[in-house]
A and B are shown apart, each in its own frame.
Chain A
Amino acid sequence: MHADYARGVYAACIVLAMSISHTLLGLLQAGPRHGYDLKRAFDAHFGQDRPLHYGQVYSTMSRLLKNGLVEVEGREPGGGPERKRYAITDAGVTDLDDWLGRPEKPEPYLQSVLYAKVVISLLTGRDASALLDTQRAEHLRLMRELTRRKIGGDLADQLVCDHALFHLEADLRWLELTTARLDRLASEIHT
């Protein structure tokens, strides 16, 4: 796992996990905007690691238009293609309310993959302890990267990094617990 992964995946995981369409809807509720302004607002709040592509903005707006969640409030002809000014509709506000009020599904995905790896290692006579140590080192490497970034970052950076750090910490606790219970697990799966 290298630095690009750290920056591109974990620190941005909150942004990637969230719905871009709902986020753009939320930005529109503050007032009508052009696609370019929407992209700038999105990048300022959420796109430190992965700025939004213009194509994503326009394809999302197109979908929201089709679903009646936004409307075109005005058009401005220019040198290039005409600029549309988007506004959120009442249905869009309701949709945004639903999204904000709905809890996210907790995703204990990593433990599941690692658990499978541990069990397969034990079943096939491989060194499960080494596998867990390798993963542990990888987790801490990423935690160091995020900690460095947090120290040099602004509050938004700190909060995004903290989110990732707390999740990695939870994984690490699981890795340590599993390492301590490997002998027992091995005897159970072999019976």
Chain B
Amino acid sequence: MNEEPGADAPALLAATELHKSYGATPALAGADFAIRAGEVVAVMGPSGSGKSTLLHCLAGIVPPDSGSVRYQGRELSSLPDAERSALRRADFGFVFQFGQLVPELTCVENVALPLRLTGIARRAAEARAAEWLERLEVADVRHHRPGQISGGQGQRVAVARALVNNPRVLFADEPTGALDSLNGERVMQLLVAAARDTGAAVVLVTHESRVAAYSDREVVVRDGRARDMAGVA
């Protein structure tokens, strides 16, 4: 196995003793997690084990009931809402299983959206978006709307949109879950290659081992607890 990237580097994003319940149902029960800059970590586990909840807590989308999430040493829960939202826009990128593109916008407008939200002018934003569509091999559908393209093309556009503002952390929740093997493989290859190029860390939630095989290491979530498998075997 290759040496893990930045094995001695401090964690870019770290969670400690996370607890989260939905009503009486516990989703996380003392989960720990850490990822370093440039690292690709797969979060695996059976359905309902808490892996998506872990991702949502790490990304500051859902506040944990207790426990700590620190990004670059700063406690996320201590940030005012506006600052946390700004952090998510500037430093985090997101790819979900489906339904994430705005149907009324063209692909290039979708990819340009995160840049537009940070105040970049339309022409410049769309020029950079076009570069990312080219990189993800979907430049030919730049003027199509999401309803006019295939699922595989849609996921590539979504990856382009997630990476267009050079995030420090890319959160990918079952990014190939709705794709066939060939399309899923290509999306993973392009996603990981682009993340490696930009130095983004990737938190990759998946139940598919073939997808997890693109990671540097895996964490298994069972019954709300996360186990780092790097030290196993």
Contacts and interface: CB of A to CB of B under 8 A. Distances in A.
Pick the 5 closest A-B CB pairs, nearest first.
A143-B213, A137-B233, A137-B232, A147-B213, A172-B209
Contacts of A144: 1, 213-215
17 contacts: A3-B1, A133-B227, A133-B229, A137-B229, A137-B233, A140-B229, A143-B209, A143-B213, A144-B215, A147-B213, A147-B214, A148-B2, A151-B189, A165-B213, A166-B210, A169-B210, A180-B46
Interface residues of B, number: 18
B232 A134 contact: yes
B218 interface: yes
A16 to B, nearest CB: 22
B233 A143 contact: no
B125 interface: no
B210 A145 contact: no
Given A143-B212, A169-B210, A176-B46, 17 more contacts: A134-B232, A136-B229, A137-B218, A137-B229, A137-B233, A139-B209, A140-B213, A140-B218, A144-B1, A144-B213, A144-B215, A147-B210, A148-B2, A151-B189, A165-B213, A166-B210, A173-B209
B189 A140 contact: no
A169 B232 CA distance: 18
Contacts of B227: 133
Interface of B: 1-2, 46, 189, 208-210, 212-215, 218, 220, 222, 227, 229, 232-233
Nearest to B229: A137
A146 B213 contact: yes
Nearest to A171: B209
A4 B1 CA distance: 11
Which one of A134, A139, A146, A151 has the highest number of Cβ atoms from chain B below 10 Å of its Cβ?
A151
A162 B74 CA distance: 42
Nearest to A168: B209
Nearest to B227: A133
Nearest to A135: B233
Interface string A52-81: 000000000000000000000000000000
Nearest to B42: A140
Contacts of B209: 139-140, 143, 168-169, 172-173
A141 interface: yes
Interface string A99-139: 00000000000000000000000000000000001111111
A104 to B, nearest CB: 22
Contact of B210 (A136, A141, A143, A148): A143
A67 B25 CA distance: 70
Nearest to A145: B1
Which one of B46, B209, B210 has the highest number of Cβ atoms from chain A below 10 Å of its Cβ?
B209
A176 B232 CA distance: 15
A169 B206 CA distance: 13
Contacts of A147: 210, 213-214
Nearest to A166: B210
Which one of B2, B220, B227, B232 has the highest number of Cβ atoms from chain A below 10 Å of its Cβ?
B232
